[in-house]
Amino acid sequence: MLRTGHFRPAVLGFALGALSITAYAAPMTYNIDPAHTYPSFEVDHSGGVSVWRGKFNSTSGTITMDKEAMTGSVDISIDINSIDFGHDGLNGHTTGTDAGMLNAADHPTATYTGRLTNWRDGAPTAVEGELTLHGVSLPVNLEIAKFACGAGRGGGETCGADAMGSFDRSDFGVDFASGFGFQMFVNLRIQIEAGSQ
């Protein structure tokens, strides 16, 4: 025979336990730290003679993660005018309006959005995403070489990642110098630090 005096506390305890688990597993949002996040890249120069490397100095966005459910998303915005090759002339030419260049006047922002995948030991190892560049949006997937979280400098939690991938810039209409033998590859690397709210 069921004793209701014991049943009510048991049900209440179960409900509170389920609530605490749900709260713990809720997705968390991390704001990208622009002072510690600099997407970088390398491209061919002079038809294979050398490789030029650069980075973007202004980045914003968010990372959302539910570590218990092993799900998450990435939303990154990059200021094209913040490109930095360490060469002012090349910076200006790359962001300019010549055919096959980035044309920052018409396309001032690049974005990368995606979902965190292939979780191992509580951490994502890949991103399935989409890059929007020069007004064109195409799939670009990234491999996460390193991912870690720890106590944030100002409280909360800080997570960091080092992700990499590659794409053909001509697919985005950025094909300057393709007729001169320049290779169209871009090796992209995004190192991120982001803090919880």
User: CB count, 10 Å around CB of 101?
Assistant: 18
Mean pLDDT, residues 85-112 taken together: 97
Report the CATH number of the 26-196 domain.
Answer: 2.40.128.110
Beta strands 50-56 and 83-84 are: antiparallel
How far is 26 from 23, CA to CA, in rounded Å?
A: 5
| Whole-number Cα distances in Å, 92 to 13, 38, 112 | 64, 19, 23
How far is 47 from 6, CA to CA, in rounded Å?
A: 79
Could you state, in order of their start, the residue ranges of all structural domains in the chain?
Answer: 26-196
Q: Mind listing the pLDDT tens digit for each residue in 59-81?
A: 999 999 999 999 999 999 999 99
Q: Mind listing the pLDDT tens digit for each residue in 93-105?
A: 999 999 999 999 9
Question: What are the DSSP calls for 23-35, one per residue?
Answer: HHTS-EEEEE-TT
How far is 47 from 179, CA to CA, in rounded Å?
A: 10
